[in-house]
Structure 1
Amino acid sequence: MNSTAKRIAVIGGGVAGLLASLTAAHEGAKVLLFEKMPKVGLKMGITGKGRCNLTNSAPIMDFIAKTPGNGKFLYSAYEKFDNEDLLSLLHSWGLATKVERGGRVFPQSDDAQEVRHLFMDRLKKEKVELHLEEPVRHIIAADGRAAGVVTDKGRCDVDAVILTTGGASYPRTGSTGDGYAMARELGHKVNTIRPALIPLVCSEVYCRELQGLTLKNVTLSVEAGGRRKAEEFGEMSFTPFGISGPIVLSLSDKVSLWISQGRGVKGTIDLKPALTREVLDRRVLRDLEKYHLKQMAGALTDLMPHRMIDTILELAGIPGDLPVSELKKGQRLALVEAMKNMPLTIVGTRPISEAIVTAGGVSVKEVNPSTMESKIIRHLYLAGEVLDIHAYTGGYNLQAAFSTGHLAALSAVKELESE
């Protein structure tokens, strides 16, 4: 390494920090990576349920659309380094990947630890100076520019700083919101953080009674005040505290926002979204004729999971021991309505520590989208989840972190070389 190489401190060894470190080092900078945990890439090692959903195969415009939290801010980052660029890089390092349902890209091995170890090996190859278990407390600014960092071990002078400390979710991986305090200390605005991609808490007792039950091909609708509405089709499950699963996580960003605004949120589950009420009623009639000698609790096994029958009958006001032959038309219509409009009272989200990503963070209005450099402090760059950026599940959040980390590093090196 050239002894005259510019020194860049990267704060945080997550997805954005790892690629920022490798990019800057590859471009000739002397990189010092500070990570407060004993290992780097801990959150990377648990993403995608331990399989690491690296990115998505969708066109980049879809990435923008799938990023409700300031997606348009990412145009420049994606132009410089998109999903194809990421996969080309990973493949050149020897990682085999595969594409699954919804365009999700995973390592062929289904092992997130393989990805983490690959990055660790690259850090050694690029001679990144790794400072583990050394949390950064402050970023030093002098004459309007980042000039160093202060850790528990003292001061370290550098030519530029890249802040990639992540959000406030999964604190056991090191994401505890430290970067917000550092950015705020330098004059940056930090927009209120809240959980996104998070299970929802409901007040209905039947959620607890049905815990562990997964529903497929259903529609979950949510609304606040009867004016703000959203819905998703797919898979969800009941938990001891409420609901979770893919469509719940997709809707949770809106729900989290509405709840933070003090709005009451209601939800409904349509167990048979492919059928109109009239068609479903005819289907119910056929089943009741088929099981006309049974009680109602035993006549609905073809229509829904066995564990749901008592709940649906209770919602419809129908005794489970009522003989099918005694069911009145009004009761049958109430049964149809219960299946098409199963109510949920959403009272909150799980704690932010359980969120897959954090909504809120350092305001992107104070960061140059073309370089990721702070508009307030020169030679300070920000990337990844510390910024007020968040996307839906499917690999979009990791790609945003990779792309912004890459752009921040390239910009830092280029700016320093031009001086």
Structure 2
Amino acid sequence: MRLFKPRSEFSRNVLTLMTGTTIAQAIPIAISPILARIYTPEDFGVFALFVAIVGSIAVIASGRYEQAIMLPEYDKYAINIFVLSLILIFFTSIVSFLIIFVFKDTILQLLNSNLLGNWIYLVPVTVFFVALFNLLTNYNNRTKHYKDIAKATVIKSLVLTIAQVLIGFLKNGFAGLIAGQILAQLFANLKLAKNVIKDKTLLATISFKNILFLAKKYLNFPKYNMPHALLGNVSSNLPIYILTPFFGSAMVGKYSLAMMIVLAPMSIIATSTAKVYNQKLSELYNKKEETYAFTLNIIKSLLKKILAPFIVFILFAPQIFETVFGEQWVDSGKYIQILSVYLILNLIVSIIAYIPSLLNLQSKALKITIIHFVLLSLALYFASEHYDVYISLVLMCVINSLVLTYNFIWMTDALKAEN
């Protein structure tokens, strides 16, 4: 058995997170053929829009201060950053509710999705839970509670799928998809929160003075990382925001299911590796040890494991989707074939996305994201207005791939320069 036991601490931590994430991602994938028959492509399209709105707000809800939790040398500063982030998340959720309450009809009209209706009022609640989960995950990552992160991920997946299936049988429409999302986040947060509140001595170090000091010290996170993250999130959801008015919720539903199925196994590797990579990279950087070679070795090792099965899946994607999900989902496989190059590049870059934060290069990252956002917005809008969905996705793939390639080069070059 020792032959199969990872030798390095890094590998063991990755394996711990990957095990939990694998189980968590396997559950919705296994149940997705059932969901595809309970819910229509239109239901998935409306749900995708709801999730996109939530994600765009949740990613900036804490001012991105949760990304700074890994940086301080002492835990007393990390816990104060946690409280600062929590306050901002609560404030953002309240403001979101007020905006939706006042401008609900205008928002639905702009999104061309009256089907969402009063369900849009659940956006602020979901924003709070999603942002809190990200915050708790970062804190547990710092304290190396990898098993708890893995367990919370599994709990979230179990609650999500059970709720979506049961509610889907009881009620028509997309209600079960949204309700499952909220319940899943709630239960996962309860699991992770205990590691924050159990250390009474550490909690005693929380003070307004410390919070204010750290808010100023890490001001670059809301100043640069926050708009960067917002634009990045909106850019990734542009197909949902732009294609919905032109091609309808059903088309977007097929796209969203395709992305869910493909990104699920990819995120098993990306998320688990990135969490431990971030922690290890911070350690190496603080000790002034080699970070460039470490990063390249991680990427090379990853590609050796995933490239072959990914290519096989892409070649037969339409047939796989038609067989597993039904004839109405065959277009989902075609969409994935078009986006294949972008998806593999996105996996690689998502793992090393922490580098700009570590090296204080948020300003450059923001500029690149702005350019990316503008190019992608114009291309998608132009293609959607004048051509079909396939041309739109081809342009999306080309632009995303070029930007991701550039990001990989300049991030790794920045690490090399530091070494």
In the superposition, the TM-score normalised over structure 1's length comes to 0.22
Rg larger in 1 or in 2? 1
More strand by proportion, 1 or 2?
1
In the superposition, the TM-score normalised over structure 2's length comes to 0.22
